[in-house]
Amino acid sequence: MLTVPVRQLGESERRSVERLLDLDPFAGAQVAERVAARGLAWWRAEGRILGYGPRRSLESICWLGGNLTPVLASESAVEAFAEQLGTEERICSSIVGRADAVLGLWDRLSAHWGPARDVRPNQPLLATDALPAVAADPEVRRVRSGEVDRLFPAAVAMYTEEVGVSPLTEDGGRGYRRRVTDLVRAGRAYARFVDGKVVFKAELAVVTRRTAQVQGVWVAPEWRGRGIATAAMAAVVRDALVRVAPTVSLYVNDFNAPARRVYDRCGFRPVGTLATVLF
């Protein structure tokens, strides 16, 4: 029997949650962004934050919403979170976070929540706080509000290629289009256009006071192998560091050797390993 039960956290424990998130600013970035924007009240946050540890000494947290993200989850915390979550039906579309915690949760939850569509156990987490030494592509810029229609097909292609399912399936793509539109309006979507078509794109999908996390990096298939990605990515990193946050971070599949070479040339260095379970 667990001596320290899991509990749902509320706004009164926000300071403790923020303290923990500051200890893992890269792996916990998505949770930190949500807490900063909406607090811990479940009806505002579109999800719940579960806590593990004594009330005066919170040790670990776990975000449960569209995805499940453990933060600073020790082995005992993973056991406790899994015991709680195993009594509930799965509502998340993925489990993502530090690899040891994610894989530990999945070991315990797979019998109840499985099967998974894909398990990616080794995703290097990378970060940089230095301007890239390589030249930036001057044609890569922030996407303008009137260019969403041009960006959206590239975003759909990237998502389908990366995740393995189309974002148009569930609701005809309305929710995904809103997300893309919001990123454009916030000045967090970048692209290079050639003859009106996107040949490179990337977004600052998560922004906190500690980091800007890049996702959705994509090069049009007919432009791959031409060497445009390094300079394009350097432009994104440079703008993000100057304008948005003190560091830039991202995570990448371990088998994606071309992308890893690009990120290395742009100055990214390892800061951990993530894992993702996709449903």
Contacts of 246 (CB under 8 A, 6+ apart): 129, 210, 211
Residue 45 confidence class, pLDDT cut points 50, 70, 90: low
Question: In what order do the strands lie in the sheet containing 269-278?
Answer: 7-8, 48-52, 60-64, 67-71, 94-98, 269-278, 118-128, 248-251, 212-219, 197-207, 189-194, 141-142
- Calpha distance 108→78 (Å, rounded): 9
Pairing of strands 269-278, 118-128: antiparallel
pLDDT surpassing 80 at residue 264: yes
Determine the pLDDT at residue 5.
83
Tell me the residue type at 88.
Answer: E
Least confident interval from 3-17, 68-82, 93-107, 150-164: 3-17
Q: Cα–Cα–Cα angle for 73, 74, 75, nearest 5°? A: 120
- Calpha distance 219→191 (Å, rounded): 10
Region 117-127 average pLDDT: 97
Determine the pLDDT at residue 43.
66
Tell me the residue type at 202.
Answer: A
Determine the pLDDT at residue 132.
98
Residue 68 confidence class, pLDDT cut points 50, 70, 90: very high
Determine the pLDDT at residue 46.
79
**Overall pTM surpassing 0.75 (yes/no):** yes
